[in-house]
Chains A and B, each alone.
Chain A
Amino acid sequence: MPDTIIHIEKKNSLNLRWLLKMAWRDSRRNRARLALFISSIVLGIAALVAINSFSDNLRSDIDNQAKSLIGADLVVASNKEIEPEMQQLLDSIAVGGDRSDEVRFASMVYFQASEGTRLVQVRALEEGGFPYYGEIESEPQDASTAFRSGGRKALVDHTLLLQYNSEPGDSIKVGNLTFEIAGALHKIPGQSAMTATIAPAVYIPKQYLEETGLLQKGSRINYYHYYRLPPDTDADELATKLEPRFDAAGFGFDTVQSRKESTGESYANLARFLSLVGFVALLLGCVGVASAVHVYIREKLSTIGVLRCLGMSGKQAFLVYLFQVAAMGLIGSVAGAILGSLIQLYLPQLFQSFLPVEVTVGISWSAIAGGIGIGLVVSILFALLPLLSIRNVSPLITLRAGIEHVSKQPDKLRWAVSGLILAFIFVFAYLQLGTWLRASGFTAGVLVGFVVLALIARLMMGLVKRFFPRSWGYVWRQSLANLYRPNNQTLLLTVSIGLGTALIATLFLMQRLLLSEVAIAGSENQPNLVLFDIQNAQKEEVAQLTREQGLPVLQMVPVVTMRIDEIKGYTAADVRQDTTLGISERAFTNEIRVTYRDSLIDSEKEVGGSWQGKVVSSGGAVPISLEDRYADRLEVVVGDTIVFNVQGALIPTIVAQLREVEWNRVQTNFRVVFPEGVLEEAPQFHVLMTRTQTDSQSAQFQRTMVQRFPNVSAIDLDLILRTLDDILGKIAFVIRFMALFSISTGLLVLIGSVNISKFQRVQESVLLRTLGASRKQILSINAFEYLLLGALAAGTGIILALGASWALAIFSFEVPFVPDLAPLLPIFIGITALTVFVGMLNSRGILNRPPLEVLRREG
């Protein structure tokens, strides 16, 4: 007798067409359920497609509107007055084309209608063609040209007009001059609304600049020169040719191309960050898919057993269900892509504060194809984990139902699939973030998030099981037992809802933390009003006026503007030639503001060397103190030499001390401090710090100050807080919008898992009802179970958020972690209530089934 299978005809090969047909047939009664569990990936795909479509459109819009980003072919900027030699160069660039000059500086303005004062960015623009491309948008529209075509007229940021109850026709005082408000300024070429929030602009004609009296020595003034080049001149070639001379003179420049690249890159970064948030939502959805497929396959075990009995191979059975999942993944991805394409219609509105260009909306086929591809791949990858078990289903299940018929032996393929999932996450993150390190960080972060949530869920199940409260009433015990029964949803819901909660809670915590940092900094006896640009001659009078107003002079600090000429004997030219020195060229071109005093103040701490507060003898290097991180950037240590250039006078110094500085105080902090006895005669201005008790006292003081000393500017802490709140609010809104995808996905996973386990719950409820349980008792069991699940998920998410916020506060923002726990309670209650609501809403059909119908079906 033969002892091999020589008689077996090889007809049982993979017949893909038939397997597809079988997959179609087998899905018949499950399509609605399959669609439901695949729906959990829809939002993730939608988020990705929306962000990527928007990003594609933005990129092409930046390309199309590139010239209006800077409004000229070339912009040359400098923060010091132009020397004659450079003036010649600047004039020569304009030959054959055109040039408009602009001077920008911060100053107080006074709105006569409301008698309000405000620190703004004054832009004194020359009459001329700027902007050569795009336009300054104003209301009335001709105001953008009318304000500089004669007469003392100003164009004022529209939000300022609203805040200060002013309108075109009213007056605004800038320095010594009063201007008629010609119109409301809405948009400047290449500038986003966010920039306007930080520094709202007031345009005045440049011809009146001198008369305002605001150009004082030592003030921080920026000079911009906008060029329209002759048609045959290539702006980039010209800029490259002139770069060494620009650098030597400390000039910055921008061409359409360079601005396009930097703008494109910064928005691409934002888009990448947001698509990672979308990707997290997709991963959450995939966890839902894996869990749903797991339950689905468990219910299909008997069918698989029959097919195996009838001669289907493990591979064939596996393929039948793989095709079903792939088809659903495809449908889910297509639905997500359609939804994402619709959502992106709203995104320009969402991002409008951040955008420098008008964004058009259009279908991005590459984003759609990418989204569908990613959705298909991840849904299959995650579903593979439960699908692989199909290969090991024993046909014996047909004879003995109800016992384990799936091999529990370790499956190498499962490890391979888990590895593939991690690799996919890593590759996706790499494509978005661009560096291996960041991609590893993201992958590790996702892994840690999932693992922590899963561990807490398991721990909770273990604790409930171990310390089961046997003395509690039946309803409570049954609900608690449901948390760890077979096919429970504890792990899935804790991970999916928990991660969504963690994202939202982290955002709230960080926003509050950053705001409270500023608020704390200004509390108690800290200064809350800073006056700057006080000239030497005004110093005593300003202090006197402050005291007359009943306000203390907390600090009066001198500020000297200078540049670095040499570091350790190296000049800018040396650094340019030898990049191994590690010193940035910018160290030589940037102006720095320096003070002098004889001791450290309370926001400073010595971390190296020692401080000599006074220089008595002239000659030799001046011992100075550097902020430690600035010293790192300059690559200097205690004992190294630096030569400073103060308005042409060279001062050799030696690093005598390194200091740590708390920058987050409302205080004048400096990177470089000179001892007394060196800079007293240098051109300088002063900063005065005081503390006002009320808003009206502050407003009154600022008004008086502006009227007496128009060149003196004031920053009050309220203004900083309001601006920061506004900026953080806008950023948080965008991130919250994206986090919403995660929360919604968590809820979809909840709906999916409630529905998937519905059959099991119907059976349980029927059995309980048969045994005499009332509807109320069964409802209570379900409600309490969802309450526990929601509370566990929300609680775990909040714990994770506290951990994430701590890490962000300490390592990224470098602020002490003092979380404001107030918003956490509403988040906890909200998410828990939502879980109970969605759970109960989807369970309502359970009680409506007559017991006999279910028992008969079982029989």
Chain B
Amino acid sequence: MSTILDIQDLKKTYNSGDRHLTVLEGINFSLQAGDTCSIVGPSGSGKTTLLGLCAGLDRASSGSVILNGVKLDTLSEDERAQVRNQYVGFIFQNFQLIPTLTALENVMVPLELRGERNVQRQAMELLGRVGLAERHDHYPTQLSGGEQQRVSLARAFSNRPTILFADEPTGNLDEETGQRVEQLLFDLNRESGTTLVLVTHDLDLAEKTQRIIRIKGGTVVSDTGAPVSVSRDEI
């Protein structure tokens, strides 16, 4: 299997006036194609920062992020955007659908950005896969939270990503809706063979991934490499 994500000695610091705040330090791990992994940790531990760096949304202070063979640290923001468009899918806690676009148009955007043709058919198929074909012309405000996250799932898989990053995908949903979204996420992930990186507080959700990386104070405190049991107190 090929390495999809390779993180080496990653460090992120912020300057706030005279203060230097180290958010992440000495992070190392790699993921193979098709792996599923959760990043867990308490609030302020640096897990969202780590997700942002892995997905090329931000630049590390030192260390490197190699995504699908592309070293992100040397790329400009626009070049990283191109990498994201080709290899990365995203799911956000607050869905992040574009409010002025219909469900169908939201799903079409990543494909259109790639310059693909006949994107409407592909987007409709994906909306059908998440059970929202009938509501393709609805705007996000006309959809429930669960429906919005399902549209978000369809959008995340629309560009057939090599790796999918999900930031608290069920954090804004009630339990029942959350479980349906989880099911869909793992089903789609399995079908497409995508590598999945989840950031979550939800231990039950984390346990559904093959590997759990636990972060505290900006450093990795444990990395199971495989599904293991983590104490709820530690999260």
Contacts and interface: CB of A to CB of B under 8 A. Distances in A.
Contacts of A3: 71, 74
A8 B79 contact: yes
B225 interface: no
Contacts of B85: 12, 310-312
Interface in A308-361: 308-316
Given A5-B79, A396-B57, A396-B58, A25 B69 contact: no
A395 B139 CA distance: 22
Contact of A399 (B57, B69, B105, B141): B57
Interface string A3-31: 11111110111010010001001111110
Interface stretch (B107-115, B189-197, B213-221): B107-115
B40 to A, nearest CB: 16
Contacts of A309: 57, 84, 90, 96
A313 B69 contact: no
Contacts of B84: 309-311, 395
Interface range on chain B: under 10, 10 to 19, 20 to 34, or 35 or more? 35 or more
Contacts of B105: 25
A314 B77 contact: yes
B74 A311 contact: no
A8 B83 CA distance: 6
A399 B51 contact: yes
A311 B96 contact: no
B113 A311 contact: yes
B52 interface: yes
A12 B101 contact: no
Nearest to B141: A857
Contacts of A582: none
A398 B57 contact: yes
A311 B81 contact: yes
A827 interface: no
Contact of B71 (A2, A28, A307): A2
Contacts of B100: 25-30, 303
B115 A12 contact: yes
Contact of A395 (B57, B71, B75, B116): B57
Interface in A177-235: none
Interface size class of A (residues with CB under 8 A): 35 or more
A274 B159 CA distance: 58
A68 to B, nearest CB: 61
Contacts of B98: 26, 303, 306-307
Nearest to B70: A5
A559 B83 CA distance: 94
A13 B114 CA distance: 9
B69 A398 contact: no
Contact of A9 (B86, B110, B155): B86
- Indicate the member of A27, A316, A398 with the most B CB atoms within 10 Å: A398
Contact of B109 (A15, A310, A399, A400): A310
Nearest to B95: A306
Contacts of A4: 70-71, 74
Contacts of B90: 309-310, 398
B92 interface: yes
Contacts of B6: 1
Interface of A: 1-9, 11-13, 15, 18, 22, 25-30, 302-303, 305-316, 394-396, 398-401, 857
Given A5-B70, A8-B86, 11 more contacts: A3-B74, A5-B82, A7-B69, A8-B83, A12-B85, A27-B100, A29-B99, A305-B96, A308-B81, A311-B84, A398-B57
14 contacts: A5-B70, A8-B86, A12-B114, A22-B109, A303-B99, A306-B96, A308-B81, A310-B110, A311-B86, A311-B110, A314-B81, A394-B58, A395-B81, A396-B57
